[in-house]
Structure 1
Amino acid sequence: MKILLDENVPLPLARMAQLLLKQHELQHVAEIVGWAGTKDIELYARAASAGFQVVLTNDTKQMARPLEVVAIAESGLHRIEYRHNHKHGGLVGLGAAVATVCAGLPHALTELECATGQLLLSLTSIDPSHQSRLRIVNPAATPPKHWPTAGSA
């Protein structure tokens, strides 16, 4: 499948997806000469005429913009979005985006391979918050089963 990664997809994420999905052709907008800065309304028609079948984006507001929705519909391209919580920037934000895309994109592509018409997919986000990414056990306060305690010999 030929997949276009929108300009808002971080390049490190694009590299990781390209490594993991070698059976598909993934290209980032920034890597195609003359495509950087293309507005979304033009991008979908341009991508369709260049033979792309899928656009991956993290622009979750696209589907609320009437002209972009029409452009997506008229292109016939499948659209896959993933959410990126920008309050988690840096390595945490990038890690969450990479995890979300790498865990969900193979399943999405499997669905698209047997689709009979245009589909719009959303990848379920990996929660990057400290509380959901870590489980911390203090064995002094809450000893695990079989944990030796003081006084046991």
Structure 2
Amino acid sequence: MHILLDEDVPRQVVDVLKHVLRGHDVDHVHLIKWSGKPDDKIYRDARRAGYEAIVTNDAAQMADPDECREVKKSGIHRISYNQRHPGLHGLAIAVGSLVAAMPGVIDILSNADGQRLVHVTGIDPTRKRYEIIDPRRNPPRYRPR
């Protein structure tokens, strides 16, 4: 599948997605010199260029009737995600959510019989995703060899 990342998706995600989506092509609007191009033209031109999916963080896009019409007319899968939390921590949550979801999303879209609109659910920052142990207070059990 040929995937285009929109302007609002951090460029640093390209290499990670290329790694986890082996066998698929991942481009970014900055890398193909489409920065600043209006969304309605991005969808039209992306279809002409052979892209099958666009990844975006543009939440307002689907609230605009003209942009919705262009998304529909393009037939391109639209994959969206949100960055609800500010700063670098919010960026890490959003990018982590996107990268974790994309292999499964692309597997499904590769076999879809028509356009799909996908929204990636964010990682819940209120749930701890790690465990920290102080070995001075809770030493690990060492096994004799």
TM-score, normalised relative to structure 1: 0.80
Task: Indicate if the aligned counterparts of 1:7 and 1:30 stay in contact, CA closer than 8 A.
Answer: yes
Structure 1 distance, partners of 2:70, 2:102, is: 23
Q: Which residue of 2 aligns with 1:74?
A: 73
Amino acid at match of 2:12: P
Task: Indicate if the aligned counterparts of 2:44 and 2:74 stay in contact, CA closer than 8 A.
Answer: yes
1:116 aligns with one of 113, 116, 122: 113
- Structure 2, unmatched stretches of 5+, are 139-145
Task: Indicate if the aligned counterparts of 1:16 and 1:98 stay in contact, CA closer than 8 A.
Answer: no
2:87 aligns with one of 86, 89, 94: 89
Q: Which string of whole-angstrom CA distances, capped at 9 and with x for unpartnered residues, describes residues 74-107 of structure 1?
A: 001010001111x4211x1221122111111111
Task: Indicate if the aligned counterparts of 1:13 and 1:94 stay in contact, CA closer than 8 A.
Answer: no
- Structure 1, unmatched stretches of 5+, are 145-153
Moved over 2 A (4+): 131-139
106 and 135 in structure 1: CA distance in 2 versus 1, 3 angstrom threshold: closer
SS in 2 for 1:31: coil
Shift of 1:136: 7.2
Shift of 1:137: 8.4
Amino acid at match of 1:8: D
Q: Which residue of 1 aligns with 2:127?
A: 132
TM-score, normalised relative to structure 2: 0.85
Structure 2 distance, partners of 1:43, 1:30, is: 12
76 and 134 in structure 1: CA distance in 2 versus 1, 3 angstrom threshold: closer
Q: Which residue of 2 aligns with 1:57?
A: 56
Structure 2 distance, partners of 1:14, 1:138, is: 34
Q: Which string of whole-angstrom CA distances, capped at 9 and with x for unpartnered residues, describes residues 97-144 of structure 1?
A: 22111111111111111111111011111123xx423677899xxxx9
Please tell me whether Structure 1 or Structure 2 has the larger radius of gyration of its CA atoms: 1
Q: CA RMSD, aligned part only?
A: 2.2
Identity of aligned residues (%): 37
Number of residue pairs aligned between Structure 1 and Structure 2: 137
